[in-house]
Amino acid sequence: MTIRLFAAALLAATALPASALAGTVASPDGRISVTVDADEEGKPFYEVMRDGKVLIARSQLGFNFTDEDPLRRNLAITGETTDSADTRWEQPWGERQFVTDRHNELAVTFAEKDDTPRGFTLRMRVFDDGIGFRYEFADRADHPVTNIAEELTEFTIAPEGTAWWIPAGDWNRYEYLYSNTPIEGVSMAHTPITMRLEDGTHLSFHEAALVDYSGMWLQRLQDRRFRAHLAPSSRGAKVVRTGAFHTPWRSIRIADDAAGLVENDLELNLNEPNKLGDVSWFEPAKYIGIWWGMISNRWTWAQGDRHGATTERTKDYIDFAAKNGFRGVLVEGWDYGWDGIWFGNGRDFSFTKAYPDFDLEGLAAYAKEKGVHLIGHHETGGNIANYEAQLADAMALYGRLGVDVVKTGYVADAGGIISCNADIALPCEGQVMEWHDGQRQVQHHLRVVEEAAKNRVAVNPHEPVKDTGLRRTYPNWVAREGARGMEYNAWGPFNNGPDHEPTLVYTRMLAGPMDFTPGVLSLKGDKDVPLASTLAKQLGLYLAIYSPIQMAADFIESLAEHPRELEFIRAVPADWAESHLIAGEVGDYAIFARKDRNSEDWYVGGVNDATAREVALDFDFLTPGKMYKATIWKDGEGATYETEARHRIAYDNRTVKAGDSMSIWLAPGGGAAIRLQPLD
C-alpha cells in the first residue's frame, strides 16, 4: 500500500533562509533539516542540521565540463516542489523482508542568472536516518551531449571525529585493510566511508543507484571538507550523457549509534523498484566449490597435473553438496583461457568452451539428478571487450544447463579494464583502459546483469564496482566481492587482521551483500599459513557478513572433519525476515540477531577483533511467551587467533525466552553462533 502525504504545510512552517526561494526540508521526525540555497555569488549549496546543530556545514554543489563553462556560480533558484512518502515495500530476498521508506522531499531548480538555458534541479530526500540528493539535468536542444569533467559536490563535516576508510585511485581496487584515522587523516577514499563524531553521531557517506555514471570517490580538500572525485575515463570527460539525465544519489546515513548505521535502508530506498518482475527462480542458498584449492595453491586453474576443475573432482563436490544440503557447487578453471598470463589480460578466455577434462553438460545433468546446481564462473581478466563479445552465448549456455548463478571476475589492476574504442561495436580493434568503477565499467556490469536476467541467471561479480543498492532494481544482482575477502588469508599469516571483519560490518557491508566466503574450518591457507580467526569466528561470519549466497569455502575434506561446525553451516539460512545489530561498535565487534525468513528460528552471533570481551546478549527480540532451544557454538577456554588455540571451540545447549539475557565470551579474533528454535 502506498500512502503519499504532501508536506507543503510542514515546509511552509519552516523559517526561510536568506534568498526568498531558498528551501528547507526536515526529516519526518524533525531531527534532521536540510537547507538548499545559493549564496551572494550565486553558488549553490546545501547545509544539514541535526537536533539544532550544524552537522554538514554549507557545502557547495556544481559541475565542471570538458567543453563548456563550469556550472557552479551565478545561479538563482527558479522553482521548488515538495513531496513526501510513507511506504513499505517487500524484498524478494534480503536482510529483512519489508523495508519502510518514509521521507520528505524538496526539489530545487537552479538556473543561470544570465538567461542561458543551463541549470539543474537538486532533488533532496530527508529520512529519519539519513539524506540523499541528486542532480537532474533537463534535455538541452542546443547542447544535447553533457561532458562532465568533474562533479563539484562537497561534504564539509562540522564536528570533529574519526573515520574508517580505504584509499581510492590506488591499484588494488577496493581490496585494502581499513585505516582508522581522525577525519583530517583521510586522503582520497572510496565510499562507503564511515565516521564517528565526537558526540557519538555515526555517519556513512556513499551513493545510491550508480547507473551510467562514474563512481564517486571522496577527496579531502582541507580540514574536514571533502569533494566528489569521479573515477576517470579514457575519454577525457569522466561522464558523457546524452539528453536529460540525472546523477546517482549522494547519500549520508546519520545515526545515533553503530546499530543505527547498520539497520538502515537509505540506499535501497533511493533505488528504483524491481524492474525484473518475478525473480522467485533465484533461491538464496549456500554453496561449496572447487576454489580454496586454487586460492591456496594446491590445485591450478590452468590445465595440467594439478588442474582443479576435473569431472571426477566436481562429482565428488556434487555428492558432498547433495549429502549436506548445499544447493550450489562453484567450479573455477573449467573454461579455456587460464593457461597463459590471464591476470589483467584475459584475451584468451572462452566462456563457452570447457577444458577436455571437464564435462560441463554431463556434470550439469549429474548435479540436476542430485538436486544440486553448478555455480558458473566467468573470469575476464578485466577484458570486457572479449567478454561482451561472448556474453549472450555464455549466459544462454548457463541458462540452458540450469547453472543459475554465475560468479564473474575482473582481475586487473585498478584502471586496467580493457574496453573498446568504439563503445558498442564488438569485437573491437583499438583497445582503451578503464577503471573498475568508471562509467564504461558501470555500464558493463548492468549489461551483464540484464543479459543474465534474460536467462534466469543471478550474478556475483568479483573485482566489481561497489554496490549502490541496485539489487532492489535488479534482484538477480545478488552479491559481489568489492573488499578484501577470505582469500587474502590464504596468502600470508594473519593477512586480514582480526579487526578486518568487525570493520567490514560497519563499512563495506553498508553497501550491500558481500561474497566474503566464510567457512574455512581448517583455519589454514597456502603452506598452512594460519588465519587470524578462531573456529567459532568462522561460524559467526555467516551472521556478521550478509549474502544471499554463502559459501562454505574450505576443502570438503576439511568441512567433513568438523561435523559439529558443519551442522551449524547446514542449518544457517541465507535469507532473513529481520536483522538487528544487538551489540557492537565500529571496528571492535558485531553481534547480530537474525530471523529466518522460512521458519520461526532465530540466529545470534558475530565476530570480534583482537580484544577479548564479555558481551551481554539480551533476547528481547524473541516472541514473548515462547521457549526456545539455544544451540551454542562459542570460543573455547583460552582460545585466541594468535596460537593453535584458535581451534578451541565449546558447545552448549540451554533454554531461553524473551527477556532473558546471556553473557558470552569472545576470544581475541573470536566469534560465536547460536541457533534458537522455538520449543513446540
Strand 373-379 vs strand 405-409: parallel, antiparallel, or unpaired?
Answer: parallel
| CB of 487 vs ligand NOJ, minimal distance in Å | 5
Q: How many residues does the chain have?
A: 680
With respect to ligand NOJ, which residue has the nearer C-beta, 11 or 514? 514
Residue (297 or 623) nearer to ligand NOJ, CB: 297
- Shortest Å, Cβ 485 to ligand NOJ: 6
> Which of 349, 314, 347, 316 has the alpha carbon at shortest distance from 330?
314
Whole-number Å distance between alpha carbons of 630 and 28: 39
Give the nearest distance from C-beta 283 to ligand NOJ in angstroms: 22
Q: For residues 244 and 393, give the distance between their C-alpha atoms in angstroms, rounded to a whole number.
A: 33
Q: How far is the CB of 379 from Ca ion (least distance, A)?
A: 10
Query: Is 379 near ligand NOJ (CB under 6 A)?
Result: yes
Nearest to 324 by CA among 53, 552, 122, 22: 552
For ligand NOJ, which is the closer residue by CB, 200 or 340? Answer: 340
Q: How far apart are CA 48 and CA 129, in angstroms?
A: 13
Q: Of 553, 577, 583, whose CA–CA distance to 565 is shortest?
A: 553
Candidate residues 37, 150, 332, 404; the one interacting with ligand NOJ per rule CB under 6 A: 332
Interaction partner, residue 332 (ligand NOJ, Ca ion, none; CB < 5-8 Å by kind): ligand NOJ
Please identify which of the residues 487, 561, 567, 578 carries the catalytic annotation.
Answer: 487
Q: Among the candidate windows 40-48, 100-108, 212-220, 456-464, which touches Ca ion by CB under 5 A?
A: 456-464
Q: Site residues for ligand NOJ, window 410-429 (CB under 6 A)?
A: 411
Whole-number Å distance between alpha carbons of 518 and 531:
11
Strand, coil or helix: 474? coil
Site residue total, Ca ion (CB under 5 A): 1
**Site pattern 239..278 for ligand NOJ (x: CB under 6 A):** ----------------------------------------
Q: Residue 301 CB, nearest distance to ligand NOJ (Å)?
A: 7
Q: Residue 487 catalytic?
A: yes
Only one of the segments 322-330, 387-395, 454-462, 503-511 lies at the binding site for Ca ion (rule: CB under 5 A); that segment is: 454-462
Of the candidate spans 78-86, 358-366, 455-463, 595-603, the one that interacts with Ca ion by CB under 5 A turns out to be 455-463
Per the CB < 8 A criterion, the answer to whether 157 and 203 are in contact is yes
* H/E stretch holding 441: helix 439-454
CB of 377 to ligand NOJ, least distance (A): 7
Q: Per CB under 6 A, which of residues 504..533 are in contact with ligand NOJ? A: none
Give the shortest CB-164-to-ligand NOJ separation in angstroms: 22
Closer CB to ligand NOJ, 379 or 437, in the complex: 379
Report DSSP state, residue 274: P
Of 110 and 342, nearer to Ca ion (C-beta) is 342
CB of 409 to ligand NOJ, least distance (A): 4
Q: Binds 105, which of ligand NOJ, Ca ion, none (CB < 5 to 8 A, cut-off by type)?
A: none
> Do 552 and 569 form a contact (C-beta atoms < 8 A)?
yes
- For Ca ion, the closer of residues 299 and 619 by Cβ is 299
The values of phi and psi at residue 217, to 5°, are: -100, 160
250 neighbors 210 (Cβ within 8 angstroms): no
Choose the one of ligand NOJ, Ca ion, none that binds residue 409, judging by a C-beta under 5 to 8 angstroms depending on kind.
Answer: ligand NOJ
Q: What are the backbone dihedrals phi and psi of residue 558, each rounded to the nearest 5 degrees, phi first?
A: -70, -40
Q: Which amino acid is at 38?
A: A
Nearer to Ca ion, 47 or 463 (CB): 463
Q: Which is nearer to Ca ion, 49 or 459 (CB)?
A: 459
DSSP state of 336: T
Give the shortest CB-291-to-ligand NOJ separation in angstroms.
6
Query: Would you say 37 or 379 has its CB closer to ligand NOJ?
Result: 379
Does 481 interact with ligand NOJ (rule: CB under 6 A)? yes
* Partners of residue 270 on adjacent β-strands: none
Question: Is-contact 562 538, C-beta < 8 A?
Answer: no
Would you count residue 409 as binding ligand NOJ (CB under 6 A)?
yes
164 CB-near residues (< 8 Å, 6+ apart): 178, 179, 180, 193, 194, 195, 503, 506, 507, 586, 587
* 3-state DSSP of 577-638: EEEEEEEEECCCEEEEEEEECCCCCEEEEEEECCCCEEEEEECCCCCCCCEEEEEEEEECCC
Indicate the residue among 264 and 296 with the shorter CB distance to ligand NOJ. 296
Binding test (CB under 6 A) with ligand NOJ, winner from 103, 445, 462, 580: 462
Range 274-293, binding ligand NOJ (CB under 6 A): 291
* Cβ within 8 Å of residue 542, ≥6 positions away: 518, 519, 550, 568, 569, 572, 605, 673
Nearer to ligand NOJ, 219 or 390 (CB): 390
Distance CA 538, CA 530 (A): 13
Tell the smallest beta-carbon distance from residue 457 to Ca ion (Å). Answer: 21
Assess 596 for contact with ligand NOJ (CB under 6 A).
Answer: no
187 neighbors 226 (Cβ within 8 angstroms): no
The DSSP bridge pattern shows strands 589-596 and 602-608 to be antiparallel
The residue (of 133 and 488) whose beta carbon lies closer to ligand NOJ is 488
- Binding residues among 460-479 for Ca ion as defined by CB under 5 A: 462
Residue whose C-beta lies closest to Ca ion: 462
CA distances from 555 to 255, 291, 508, 674 (A): 41, 8, 27, 24
Give min distance, CB of 337 to Ca ion, in A: 17
Find the shortest distance in angstroms from Cβ 489 to ligand NOJ. Answer: 12
Rounded CA-CA distance 62/615 in Å is: 47
Cα 392 from chain centroid (whole Å)? 26
Within residues 284-343, the interface with Ca ion by CB under 5 A covers none
487: contact with ligand NOJ by CB under 6 A? yes
Cα dihedral angle (449, 454, 455, 458), rounded to 10 degrees? Answer: 30
C-alpha distances out from residue 311 to 360, 363, 380, Å: 8, 7, 23
Number of chain residues interacting with ligand NOJ (CB under 6 A): 8
d(CA 186, CA 162): 9
Q: Which residues bind ligand NOJ (CB under 6 A)?
A: 291, 332, 379, 409, 411, 462, 481, 487
Residues forming the site for Ca ion (CB under 5 A): 462
User: What is the set of active-site residues?
Assistant: 487
